[in-house]
Amino acid sequence: MTRFILLPGLVLSLVAPTAGAQTAVTGATALHNLMPVPATVSIEAGGLPIDSRFSVAFSGYKDARLEAAAKRMVERIARQTGIPILPKSGIAVLTVKCGKAAGRVQQVIEDESYSLKVTASGATLTAPTSYGVLRGFATFVQLIEPSPAGFVATAATIEDRPRFPWRGLMIDAGRHWQPIEVIKRNLDAMAAVKLNVFHWHLSEDQGFRVESKLYPKLQELGSDGLYYTQAQVREIVRYAADRGIRVVPEFDVPGHTGAWLVGYPHLASGPGPYEIQRRWGVFDPVLDPTNEQVYVVLERLFGEMAALFPDAFFHIGGDEVNGKQWAANKKIQAFMKRRGFKTDGDLHAYFNKRLNTILKKHHKIMVGWDEILHPDLPKDIVVQSWRGQKALADAARAGYRGILSNGYYLDYMWSTERHYLVDPVGKDAEALSDQQKARILGGEATMWSEWTTPEMIDSRTWPRTAAIAERYWSPATVRDVEDMYRRLDVVSRRLDFTGVLHRTAYRPMLERMTGGRPADALEGIVNLVEPVREYNRGRGLKQTQQSPLTRVIDAARPESEQARVFARLVDGLLADPAKKANRPAIERSLREWQDDAAAVQPLLDGFLLLEAKPIVERVSGLSALALRALQAIDQGTALKLSPEDTSLLAEAAKPMAEVHLMIVPPIRKIVDAAAGR
Amino acid sequence: MTRFILLPGLVLSLVAPTAGAQTAVTGATALHNLMPVPATVSIEAGGLPIDSRFSVAFSGYKDARLEAAAKRMVERIARQTGIPILPKSGIAVLTVKCGKAAGRVQQVIEDESYSLKVTASGATLTAPTSYGVLRGFATFVQLIEPSPAGFVATAATIEDRPRFPWRGLMIDAGRHWQPIEVIKRNLDAMAAVKLNVFHWHLSEDQGFRVESKLYPKLQELGSDGLYYTQAQVREIVRYAADRGIRVVPEFDVPGHTGAWLVGYPHLASGPGPYEIQRRWGVFDPVLDPTNEQVYVVLERLFGEMAALFPDAFFHIGGDEVNGKQWAANKKIQAFMKRRGFKTDGDLHAYFNKRLNTILKKHHKIMVGWDEILHPDLPKDIVVQSWRGQKALADAARAGYRGILSNGYYLDYMWSTERHYLVDPVGKDAEALSDQQKARILGGEATMWSEWTTPEMIDSRTWPRTAAIAERYWSPATVRDVEDMYRRLDVVSRRLDFTGVLHRTAYRPMLERMTGGRPADALEGIVNLVEPVREYNRGRGLKQTQQSPLTRVIDAARPESEQARVFARLVDGLLADPAKKANRPAIERSLREWQDDAAAVQPLLDGFLLLEAKPIVERVSGLSALALRALQAIDQGTALKLSPEDTSLLAEAAKPMAEVHLMIVPPIRKIVDAAAGR
């Protein structure tokens, strides 16, 4: 495989600065590996040694939840450092002063602030509420670094509080089933980067994923047996609450209800029968807003679910109703005419108003996607914007509270940088008044699961979500992309110790492709590609929920670290008049890719690798071309490009096997420079 | 990191042979990746396609356990192939004909035989009992390979049965605590290679690991809070039974009882007080065989434990009594004199006889280590031999049943080959009569945990235990080491899908050493070392149970695949008169090691890597020396060795940081050949 290239700049700042060096920074980057960056942080000399006697003491308020959180933090430190820390055997080195208990149910706005002071002789974490303690624990773990004498918590003074109160991750368990292990380990990773809302997308055309005792055919006929029992839901809600994370359930209505209608076809706007949908897209089946029976079912079902999910918010989806069943149903058309509804939107708003009344009865605040926004809806609903920042700004201007998800679609396979620079109150929202801005509660990264199974969901979610979490927590001024990547590199490796498999699941997926043979060279190649973006996957392919997701595109990470680092090396080379900078590292990479391409050849007959053939050929060809280009630069001669060279560059720039070969742009730069273009 | 070198010979036989090729083999190697090799196997052309409709049907006896086993197998296939197999959605492609139910409790001798016939149109598994079905399922999973058209179960006709009825793995949860996740995932891996005895070493000087309700101070004062609750024990026993694995508990008495005595010092042969032992070795504390109170406690405690563990066998340890407390205790000396006991062995035998009476009352058969063997003991006890094959042969000759563990000590850090070639009825046992040989029930790999935490226990246990399992199951004639390694290479990667972390835990351990920085180059170096063997670790170091096991030696695998393959490449080169064979691959490895050594340099200041400095320097120096040697061979000149070269070779052959650099012997061969020695 291709060795990750160590840039001198990347090596910096992993150990506490030497004595005397003191950097006070406010909401900006400093020599630490904290993510999200705290509101204010001052990194100081030295650190607090961490050894097997480490323990936590509470000097203020404490309760079972806080003690459990302290125990989890100690276990996490033990895993991360490998130091066996025995329960109860320690001396207190971290003192926690908590002001008061958290309420029974976590509210959308809680005081999550904390102060953390770490010196060579001890650490003190002070917070007005339990939530601040939880956030401070997450920071304390991130301060632990190897020092020459062993692990230490870097000495620091931190005052911290979140920028936005709603910092979420949505996981779609409808399209591809995600068992509770997946949810649990992702909750642990969320807590590590201070996210506080788990939005659980629980029903889809492709599956209804929660046990209903009142309407059991929902899960019995609508889930292939793949659903959460009510006991499991309670377990997850408790697990999340322990970590200071709210659980907002989503039952998407009236569209995306194909799986509901298998068991209860009489609720549909069109004639059945219905089957669980196996394909991806927007489908016709939709609940009938003119059928009183629909409201009876929703009132009872939402009542059942409202009791399972203590959070004050309840997400009713509301997106992507294509209106076909409504248009084709004379009874519905007559109803609309009778009521004077001009558009499907009016009918949808009527439905949502009825729903809102139902939710109010169950003491829930309605949340829905952009489409629920309609002047008829009261101002206390919350809009989650997937369509764009303008929609969110308009909603805030109109008096609604909102959450931004546009720009945070993890399934779009964007780079971390691209997600990172999206600001919940950026773009159209910048012009809002402060009062209007305050209506934007925060954001949510969304992990839609058309192309995501339990095996690789973590690699789609992490580490990118850590950078998004920083956007939601840290001051708006924290936008240094290079420093973000520097810290993310470390944070990503340490997320291993929370239990997420974003790094470890890669190798077994590659070894499946090789039929159990060594996959090092294959890894070297797959390291260089990224999946096609947005909705460019699966076009023209007959893929369904049952299609194995075991291809190169499924193993490939959303962002190629190797290509990103290589591109920076090339920029360095070309910016250098003598063209010597980074030259050895660039040449070594190119030679390794050639070797990898050669070594992977005998494996390409495996059915899972057949489609990788052109990728491998182009890696080989491009590496050779770039080496020639380097030689030409060395010799000061102009590189002559053959028609084959030109065609190779053009072909390699197109997606192959639905992945992009990410070394093409930097190699093109070398070639252009060498050819004097 | 150093790329694993693909030898042409290793690439063979991963897909089913082409049409017409039919190999009938009896207990020997064939073109398959089965481990253990079945008693008879015929690999045939083609295979049975595996897709999302795969399912299992029972045409004979069935029960909940068999159905659960079928479900687990389907899940395992889904994980291994990445094919989403929906519950109940399939058509039967594997038909199971089971003769009859298994008894309530698995006996030491059960009929585990089965026949498996796989053709392009379907598969049939026939077995007289449930145990054969479980074993056949394990084989069926191993037959699944990628073919040009997708995954298939290779067509085959298999008649299979085990050579030995007792095929065990012992895990020591006493010295280092091993939580139930560790036990569960290891039970899954055991089932995958047809092991059927989990020997659970539950008490030690360093910890008493089971909850006793009768004597709660055992766990309360003797375990640091790290013990299995009785509910967890029942859960593990059930989990194992579901997989056709017996659970034999071990409570080691009268020695190794330091942790018991913290809570119950009056049972000791010497004066207390006692503390949990934190160091490793053989210690003085021992129960007092002359104290009637000891038998009262053991009768009640073993009664409590006998009810928890349904297996007919109960292991009482009995090893390593150093006799110091007995010698120093006048009351005990008087007792021995009174009874006419001449040696500690006589007193120990007296103790064991009393113990045997107690166990009989609880309907248990006594098992113990070598030391329990004494003419006074009845013939129905079972001896587990750790001292040697002679001890086992003597026991069998004397009429005792026995199990071999000598030669299967996983903590010795031997190569797979070395373990693999040890035969339970080999060496001294070869001369036994058939009747005597039959008393040797089988063997047990033993995973002692002085140097083993939950983080790396899997890498010490797997894949080596898969080869040992083959020794216990397959015909004695299956001894082809090269073929074993060929299959092990594949089997090891596929064990990932059982849940063991023997491969995936490596990288995070290396990244802990680098402080979260890229560890590829470090991996390249650590791939070349092996821990020191047998009891050579920790000498002169003040290491305890609380010492972090986070060093290079802890991450290093017991066997370096890379060094083993490199050594074979070198042998090929030197056996080749023209010295061209394998030359490019050898040179590539050497250059990569040089690169790795250079790239790892900036990391060596990390406190966990300081001790790796000489290793890295020697890898660099040896690679350079070997490259010079290759050049001399090319040019037909004699390599001239400087005093520095000679010293380098000598120094590199010694352990550094308690690891062996495994490329030294093959590099020495190249150098010797080049120098004309």
Q: Please provide the DSSP assignment of B425-471 as one string.
A: T-GGGGGS-HHHHTTEEEEEEEE--TT--TTTHHHHHTTHHHHHHHH
Count CB neighbours of B271 within 10 A: 10
Bridge partners, residue B443, by sequence: B167, B404
Å between A47 CA and nearest CA of chain B: 15
A607-642: b or e for each residue (b if 16 or more CB lie within 10 Å)? bbbebbeebbbbbbbbbbbbbbbbebbeeeeebebe
Cβ atoms of B22 and B43 closer than 8 Å: yes
A607's tokens? 């059915």
User: Nearest chain B Cα to A496, which residue?
Assistant: B508
Bridge partners, residue B249, by sequence: B200
Cβ atoms of B22 and B42 closer than 8 Å: yes
Bridge partners, residue B95, by sequence: B57, B124
3-state secondary structure of B117: strand
| Rg of chain B over all Cα atoms, to the nearest angstrom | 27
Count CB neighbours of A377 within 10 A: 19
pLDDT at site A623: 98
Q: Report the half-sphere exposure of A244 (CA within 13 A, side-chain side).
A: 31
Q: Which of A15, A493, A605 sits opposite B511 (nearest CB)?
A: A493
Q: Residue B463, preceding bond cis, omega within 30 degrees?
A: yes
3-state secondary structure of B505: coil
Low pLDDT (below 70) residues in chain A:
1-30, 88-89
Whether B6 sits inside 8 A of A518 (CB atoms) is yes
The CA distance from A287 to A368, in Å, is 16
Question: Measured between CB atoms, does A231 come within 8 Å of chain B?
Answer: no
Q: Taking CB atoms and an 8 Å cutoff, what residues of chain B touch A520? A: 1, 3-4
Q: Taking CB atoms and an 8 Å cutoff, what residues of chain A touch B4? A: 518, 520
| Most A-contacting residue of B152, B219, B223, B496 (CB-CB within 10 A), to test interface | B496
Which residues 416-475 of B are in CB contact (within 8 Å) with A? 453, 455
Å between A315 CA and nearest CA of chain B: 29
Bridge partners, residue B47, by sequence: B154
Q: How many CB pairs under 8 A join A and B?
A: 177
Q: Taking CB atoms and an 8 Å cutoff, what residues of chain B touch A546? A: 52, 84, 86
Q: Which of B33, B515, B605 sits opposite A516 (nearest CB)?
A: B33
> What is the CA A322 to chain-centroid distance, rounded?
28
Whether A224 sits inside 8 A of B89 (CB atoms) is yes
The CA distance from A33 to A30, in Å, is 8
Whether A507 sits inside 8 A of B504 (CB atoms) is yes
Instruction: Say which DSSP state B363 is in.
Output: T
Phi/psi at B656 (5° precision): -125, 135
3-state secondary structure of B524: helix
User: Nearest chain B Cα to A11, which residue?
Assistant: B517
Burial class, B21, CB count within 10 angstroms (exposed 0-12 / middle 13-18 / buried 19+): exposed
The CA distance from B99 to B62, in Å, is 9
Number of H helices, E strands in chain A: 25, 20
Phi/psi at B92 (5° precision): -70, 125
Q: Residue A273, preceding bond cis, omega within 30 degrees?
A: yes
Whether A515 sits inside 8 A of B146 (CB atoms) is yes
| Most A-contacting residue of B1, B2, B3, B587 (CB-CB within 10 A), to test interface | B3
B352's tokens? 């064991």
Bridge partners, residue B204, by sequence: B207
Count CB neighbours of A260 within 10 A: 30
Q: Taking CB atoms and an 8 Å cutoff, what residues of chain A touch B491? A: 516
Q: Taking CB atoms and an 8 Å cutoff, what residues of chain B touch A82? A: 453, 455, 509, 512, 548-550, 554
pLDDT at site B541: 82
Checking DSSP bridges between strand B440-447 and strand A382-385, what pairing results, if any? unpaired
Q: Terminus-to-terminus CA distance in chain A, angstroms?
A: 32
Whether A588 sits inside 8 A of B595 (CB atoms) is yes
The CA distance from A448 to A446, in Å, is 6
Instruction: Say which DSSP state A176 is in.
Output: S
Whether A496 sits inside 8 A of B490 (CB atoms) is no
Cβ atoms of B247 and B200 closer than 8 Å: yes
Whether A490 sits inside 8 A of B588 (CB atoms) is no
A561-572: b or e for each residue (b if 16 or more CB lie within 10 Å)? bbbbbbbbbbeb
Q: Taking CB atoms and an 8 Å cutoff, what residues of chain B touch A33? A: 516
Bridge partners, residue B152, by sequence: B49, B145
Å between B637 CA and nearest CA of chain A: 30
Question: Measured between CB atoms, does A504 come within 8 Å of chain B?
Answer: yes
Cβ atoms of B288 and B294 closer than 8 Å: yes
Which residues of B are tagged catalytic?
320
> What is the CA B186 to chain-centroid distance, rounded?
10
Which residues of A are tagged catalytic?
320
Phi/psi at B637 (5° precision): -105, 160
Q: Taking CB atoms and an 8 Å cutoff, what residues of chain A touch B518? A: 3-4, 6, 489
Burial class, B433, CB count within 10 angstroms (exposed 0-12 / middle 13-18 / buried 19+): exposed
The CA distance from A144 to A33, in Å, is 9
B133's tokens? 């079905």
Whether A508 sits inside 8 A of B511 (CB atoms) is no
3-state secondary structure of B114: strand
Q: Taking CB atoms and an 8 Å cutoff, what residues of chain A touch B78? A: none
Cβ atoms of B517 and B543 closer than 8 Å: no
Instruction: Say which DSSP state A216 is in.
Output: T
The CA distance from A531 to A553, in Å, is 5
Complex ipTM: 0.91
Taking each helix axis as running N to C, give the angle between helix B664-674 and helix B613-635, from 0 to 180 degrees, rounded to the nearest 10. Answer: 30
Whether B52 sits inside 8 A of A494 (CB atoms) is no
pLDDT at site A627: 98
Query: Can you list the alpha helix ranges (DSSP code H) found in B576-657?
Result: 583-600, 613-635, 643-652
3-state secondary structure of B32: coil
Phi/psi at A443 (5° precision): -150, 170
Residue from A58, A80, A171 nearest A490 by CA: A80
pLDDT at site A8: 33
**B382-419 residue pLDDT tens:** 999 999 999 999 999 999 999 999 999 999 999 999 99
Low pLDDT (below 50) residues in chain B:
1-30
Count CB neighbours of A256 within 10 A: 27
Whether A146 sits inside 8 A of B607 (CB atoms) is yes
Question: Measured between CB atoms, does B88 come within 8 Å of chain A?
Answer: yes
Q: Terminus-to-terminus CA distance in chain B, angstroms?
A: 32
Å between A631 CA and nearest CA of chain B: 21
